[in-house]
Amino acid sequence: MINYPKNFIIGAWSLIKGLAVTLKYFFKPVVTLQYPDEKLSMNDSYRGLVGLNPEKCIVCNQCVKICPTACLAIASRQEDKKKTLETFKYNMELCCFCGLCQQVCPTGAIIMTNIYEISVYDRKKFDIDLLNVKKYDEWTDTTVK
C-alpha cells in the first residue's frame, strides 16, 4: 500500500526530469543548417561525382575494370604508340560512389569531386561525358539560384 503513492511520486518526478531535458534543449542554439542558404562544405576527401583530368589519363582501363557497377566506359584510339582518349562515359545512375576508381588510378587522373548536389531534371543528364563536362556547377540542377 505504501508503495503505490511512492511509485506514483517517483514516476511523476521522472516525467519532470524528462521535461527538464527538453526544456534545456529548447534554449540551446540550433544545430541544423538552413540548407539552400547555408551549405555544408565537404572536405576534399569527400567522394562525390567522378571527375576526370584528361591530360593525366593514360588509358590503362584500370578504373573500368575495378568498377563494381560498370558505370565507366572508355573508348580510345592508337596514335603512334600512344593511346589517346576519345570518349570517357560515366553513367551516374549506376555509380555507387565507392571510390575504387580513384584509388586504382595510377596517375591520379580520375578524381572524386566534392559535389553532392546531384539531382537533375532530365534523366539523360546522368549519362555524363567526362571529357566534355568542364564544370559540374553548371551541370547540376539542384542549386537554388
Partner 1 sequence: MRTDEILAIIKAEFPDAKEETGSDGIVIPKERLLEIARYLKSPPLAFDNLHCITAVDRKEKIELVYILYSIGERHGITLKIYLTLEDLNVASLSELWKSANYLEREVYDLFGVVFLNHPDLRRILNPYDWKGYPLRKDYSHPQLVVKPRL
Partner 2 sequence: MLSILHFIWMLIIGLIVLSFLAGSAMFLIWLERKVSAHIQSRLGPMRVGWHGILQSIADTIKLLLKEDIRPVKADKLIWWLAPFFVVVPSVMAFVVIPFGKTLIVKDLNVGILYIMAISSVGVIGIFMAGWGSNNKYSLLGGMRSAAQIISYEIPLILSIIIVVMHANSLSMQKIVAAQSGYWYIFYPNMALAFVVYIISATAEVNRTPFDIPEAESELAAGFHTEYSGMKFAMFFVGEYTNVFIVSAIATTLFFGGWHGYIFPPIVWFLGKTYSIVFILMWAKWTFPRVRVDQLMGFAWKVLTPISLVNLAITGWLLLK
Partner 3 sequence: MNMGPQHPSTHGVLSLELRLDGEIVKECTPHIGYLHRSIEKIAENRTYTQFIPYTDRLDYVASMNNNLGYVMAVEKMLNLEVSQRAQYIRVIVAELNRIASHLIAVGTFAQDLGAFATPLFYCFREREKVIDIFDQICGNRLTYNYMRIGGVQFDFPEGISEKIKDFVKYMRPKVDDYDQLLTHNAIFLARSKNIGVLPKELAISYSVTGPNLRASGVKWDLRKDEPYLVYDKFEFDIPVGENGDSWDRYKMRIEEIRQSLRIVEQAIDALPQGEPTVKVGRILKPSSSGTYFRTENPRGELGFYIVGDGSAYPYRLKIRAPSFSNLAVIPELVKGSKIADLVCVFGSFDVLMGEIDR
* Exposed e or buried b per residue across 25-51, where buried means at least 16 C-beta atoms within 10 angstroms of its C-beta: eeeeeeeeeeeeeeeeeeeeeebbbbb
Q: Does 106 bind partner 1 (CB under 8 A)?
A: no
Look at residues 128, 129, 130, 95 and name the one whose alpha carbon lies nearest to residue 109. Answer: 130
State yes or no: residue 70 binds partner 1 (CB under 8 A): yes
Window contacting partner 1 (CB under 8 A); options: 28-36, 48-56, 65-73, 100-108 = 65-73
Size of the site for partner 1 (CB under 8 A): 6
Give the span between the Cα atoms of 129 and 32, in whole angstroms.
Answer: 36
97 makes contact, choosing from partner 2, partner 3, partner 1, none, with CB < 5 to 8 Å by partner type, with partner 3
Task: Select from 108, 99, 130 the least CA-distant residue to 60.
Answer: 108
63-82 positions binding partner 3, by CB under 8 A: 66-68
* Residue numbers at the binding site for partner 2 (CB under 8 A): 8, 15, 18-19, 21-23, 25-26, 28-32, 34
